Structure 1
Amino acid sequence: MKRNFSAFARRACRATLAAGAVAAALAGCSSSPPLFLSDGRQTTLVQCPAGSDNCAQQASASCGGAFDVVRQSTDNGTLSLIYACRAK
């Protein structure tokens, strides 16, 4: 009986550690809450290689067309674009 309990305890411990590892990994991937403009529109950040139009394509696809660039910057070959969809 004692042996079965130890095996159960080891499995439970492994399961708990695995769940903790998954939670930690997901926490590292989470994004910050969205920021809003003074007019109430939500902003979104996309990143793509500098010199490509991937960021604009992503923003246009997400907004279903027109969007406003709130801020953009380039660092180490990566373009960061913060945009807000235009009201329809």
Structure 2
Amino acid sequence: MKRRLSFFARRSSLTLAIGAIVALGGCSSSAPLFLPDGRTTTLVQCPVGSDSCSQQAAASCNGAFDIVRQSSAGGTLSLIYACRAVAK
């Protein structure tokens, strides 16, 4: 009887481990996109009419950023931006 319980305990642990791996696989993000000059782009989303997208971009880039693309749908503003290169 103990062997059967041990077998089921190991099997359920394996099933939980596989389930956790599959669930975490859905949390991965896509690779960043790059502009021709090598800068990475970032996507932020905020409510239409709010200034928080620009504020987030400015905070992330220490104030200097370029808007690559901007669109709105369903009350949400999507802003793709790239930080400006730091002058050397």
TM-score by length of 2: 0.81
Q: Deviation of residue 78 (structure 1)?
A: 1.1
Letter in 2 for 1:87: A
- 1:1-88 mapped onto 2 (5 Å cutoff): 3-88=1-86
Q: Percent identity, aligned pairs only?
A: 59
Q: Deviation of residue 37 (structure 1)?
A: 0.2
Aligned length: 86
Q: 1:23 to 1:77 in 2, by over 3 A?
A: farther
Letter in 1 for 2:12: R
Q: Deviation of residue 72 (structure 1)?
A: 1.0
**Bigger mean CA deviation after superposition, 19-28 or 73-82:** 19-28
Larger relative helix fraction: 1
